[in-house]
Structure 1
Amino acid sequence: MAAGRAPTLQLGQLTGVWAAIYRRRDRLEQHAASQVLAAWRELAAGLDLTAVMTALRQQVAPAESTAAADRRRHVQRVTTAAVLAQLARLASRPEWPQLVAALTAAMRGGRAAGARAGHAVAADDGGELGDEDYDQADGEGDADAELAAAYTVTAAALRGTAQTIARALLTAAEQGTDERAMLDQAAAVITDGAAWSTSIITAVGAAWTDGMTAAYQQRSVQQLSVVTVGDGHVCSACITAEDNSPYPAATAPRPPLHPLCRCTLQPT
């Protein structure tokens, strides 16, 4: 363990500026997920996967041998690709720009909020965080970079959604589930939007870190430590990153280190 590294933040016992930061980060992430999920559900309403299910039924066979198990994995990959192709067609719907706008707004808000958090940490002053509505951030950003980031999030969320739907449909087909029930299962995955929640919360975390590091750079911070949230759910990669702290500011790992990572950076 490197000498002088920042201590783990105990998420349930935070006080002062860090309590305010994590409270507001949580608000920001939940607000972003809510906005994006609403846009996603409106966009994907009525998506018809009947053709996918018809093709799937023609390929399904019991996995009673190694060869059959390999075939099942192949069928799942093919089904995932077929579902993904149907999801990709949503980009032609008139609701698509609303989804992209929700994504870009969420990440713009994350960067603005992260910058305020970075200044607050560096100054040890919760007043730097601004008022309670700071997560409704406005302002101009790099439009090309924002659009690229939005499409990166979209690609991850669509693939995750397709994989979940494919698994559900394949299992249902193997069990002889009727078509109406299979459609209902696919619709439930779309409505739940778990892949979208994971992708947008992770993306907002990355934008938050971008904002924080920009603030630290403005304040000429020389060293940064990765700080975990010590609640028993911290992964080994994050623990290692924390244990190897501090780092030169320019080369410090940039949370999120994995989907839904809750680590942050602190000046050392």
Structure 2
Amino acid sequence: MGSPDYSDGCMIALYPPPELAAQLAVEGGLPAEGLHVTVAYLGPAAGVDGDALREVAAELAARQPFTAQLAGLGRFTGGTKDVLVALVDSPALEDLRRDTLDVLYERGIQVPREHGYTAHMSISYLDPDEAAPLDRIDAQPVEFTALSAVHGTDRADTPLAHPMESVAREAFATGWALSGGPMTDRVRTACETAVSIATEAADDPDVLRATIDLGRLEGMWALLFQRREEQQSLHMAEVRRQWRELISRDDITVMVDRLRHQLGVTEAVDPGRLRVEALAAAKAMLRALADLSGFSALRIALRNAIAAGRAEGMVNAVAIAAERAGKVGLDWNIAFKDAYQSMERLEDLWADAGGWLGRMIDGVAGDLGRTLADGLEAGLDRDALVDAAAELLTGDAEAVAFTVDWAMTTAADEGALALYRSEGVLQIDIITAGDGRVCGACIDAESGSPWHIGDQPRMPLHPHCRCCYAADVSLAHFANWIL
């Protein structure tokens, strides 16, 4: 199965990804690195200027990468050797072939026309009576990301890229930089989307301005979510610290001893009763925390977290309104300070803190009850039960973190809503975070926008929800916040 020697020829060609080439290569056939789709074969390299050929490839590469389809096996016959080929199908490949012939003609480079054009990758040369080493290949996509100029043994690859791509990417980056926001996965994804849109609308004279605006908007959203997460991390750490101050190993030991005594450690206990008693013991111990002197510090910490959440929600609302009005930026620190100070005299924050504290204690009690019941069922002794309970209560305390996150997210949405009401807004939108973590309920809420205030879904719709209310407001009352 000898293969013809084309090392002295030249062509414009496409090469598949190496992993696909390795999959298609067969023993005795063309090497994997040699598999390619010929766009235009030009005959002996001696008759074609190599620099001119490379210039042609560079000119033709000003287009988007594209995906073709492997469409099965074929066997070309009629010569001294048969050729086993993988057939390749794509409208983009047909367009490339036509454009290639046009550009070559304009440069005076002749293309031999002994045969018609059937896009394929040659896999192996066979004797006419020789069995094929492959019976079939599965249909699958093949992505082409570069166009190659092959001149003898020299091969030059030029990446496929629309001429608008680099300009649009720079425009998006300019908008993002204006926002002052961080570079996040969401921003990177948005950049690729914006570049794709810009290349599709390259003839629109306003496309780059729109791309800059998209970059600025995504940067603003990234900064908004970053600030929310920073505030939540800060206050979560303080609430956890105050929580741990209340937990005493001695109290845990007393609780475990009472539970074991009540159940009778040497008697078989119905699992249902065991879990009921374990939960009751956990609730009794944790509700007793309210009588400790440090409980007020925990309540203050949670109240401050809720105040920060509301303030951040107010700032977010103005930031969104400013972005909608085309303002370049916001002094987030001044805005947050002013908004937070407006919270100082709000008495309802104490009631909110009390309600969230109750939820926190119930959540921790549920976790603790399950831990105790599981430990008793597993036959843990007294010290091991105490250790397990102490680890839950003084470790990450997931129920504490969950409550702080939920409370601050709720407060942020309430803060935004309160600001819109105070500014006389009648309708609001719900905007999702716009990434792969957005759930169906949030997408439905966004799709239902605009909402009349009072009729809108109450945010957050679920734990760790990152959706926001959004509306246009007059920025006159917030002039000192705007840069």
| TM-score where L is the length of structure 2 | 0.48
Structure-1 separation of matches of 2:275 and 2:338? 40
Give the match for residue 410 of structure 2.
206
The Cα of 1:213 is off from its aligned counterpart by 1.4
Task: Tell me the residue number matched to 1:75.
Answer: 274
Candidates 99, 107, 114, aligned match of 2:313: 114
Rounded to whole Å, the distance in 1 between the matches of 2:356 and 2:185 is 27
Counterpart residue identity of residue 113, structure 1: E
- What's the offset of the Cα at 1:36? 0.4
Residue pairs, 1:35-74, within 5 angstroms: 35-46=238-249, 47-48=251-252, 49-50=255-256, 51-56=258-263, 58=265, 61=268, 72-74=271-273
Q: Of 123, 128, 137, which residue of structure 1 is paired with 2:322?
A: 123
Identify the match of residue 86 of structure 1 among 285, 294, 298: 285
Aligned twin of 1:173: 376
Answer whether contact 2:311 2:336 (CA < 8 A) is retained: no
1:131 offset after TM fit, Å?
Answer: 4.8
Alpha-carbon contact 1:108-1:141 (below 8 Å) kept: no
Per-residue displacement from partner, 1:13-70 (whole Å, max 9, x unpaired)?
27232222111111111111111000000012333222234334559858xxxxxxxx
> What amino acid is the match of 2:470?
Q
Higher helix share: 1
Give 2:227's aligned residue.
24
CA distance, structure 2, for counterparts of residue 107 and residue 185 of structure 1: 31
Residue in structure 2 matched with residue 221 of structure 1 by the alignment: 425
CA distance in 2, matches of 1:231, 1:60: 54
Any idea what the Cα deviations from partners look like across 1:160-197, whole Å, max 9, x if unmatched?
11111111111111111111111111111111211011
Once residues 454 and 259 of structure 2 are traced to their aligned partners in structure 1, the CA distance between those partners, rounded to angstroms, is 48
Amino acid at match of 1:12: R
Name structure 2 gaps, 5 residues minimum: 1-183, 188-216, 473-483
| Letter aligned with residue 228 of structure 1 | T
| SS of residue in 1 equivalent to 2:454 | helix
What's 2:165 paired with? Answer: none
Whether the 8 Å contact between 1:172 and 1:182 is mirrored in structure 2 is: yes
Does 1:154 find its partner at 2:357?
A: yes
Q: Which residue of structure 1 aligns with residue 98 of structure 2?
A: none
**Cα distance change on mapping 1:258 and 1:81 into 2, 3 Å:** farther
1:68 maps to which residue? none
Displacement after TM superposition at 1:77 (Å): 3.0
Q: Partner residue of 2:85? A: none
Letter in 1 for 2:419: A
CA RMSD of aligned residues (A): 2.6
**Aligned pair partner of 1:98 in 273, 297, 305:** 297
Secondary structure (helix, strand or coil) at the match of 1:252 reads coil
Q: CA deviation at 1:128?
A: 4.8
User: Which SS does the other structure have where 1:15 is aligned?
Assistant: helix
Other-structure match for 1:12: 186
- Give 1:228 shift: 2.3
- 1:204, distance to aligned residue in structure 2 (A): 0.6
Identity %: 31
In the alignment, the residues of structure 2 paired with residue 249 and residue 45 of structure 1 have an alpha-carbon distance, to the nearest angstrom, of: 47
With a CA cutoff of 8 Å and minimum separation of 6, indicate the structure with the bigger relative contact order: 1
Measured in 2, the distance between the counterparts of 1:135 and 1:52 equals 50
When the two structures are superposed, what TM-score results if normalisation uses the length of structure 1?
0.83
State yes or no: 1:252 paired with 2:459: no
- Counterpart of 1:183 (choices 377, 386, 406) is 386
The correspondence of residues 256-267 of structure 1 with structure 2, limited to 5 A, is 256-267=460-471
Q: Residue 126 of structure 2 aligns with which residue?
A: none
Q: Report the structure number with the largest CA radius of gyration.
A: 2
Aligned length: 250
Report SS of the residue matched to 1:21: helix
Higher strand share: 2
Would you say the 8 A contact 1:110–1:135 is kept in 2?
no
Indicate conservation of the 8 Å contact 1:61/1:174, yes or no. Answer: no
What SS is found at the alignment partner of 2:380? coil
Runs of 4+ in 1 over 6 A off after TM superposition: none
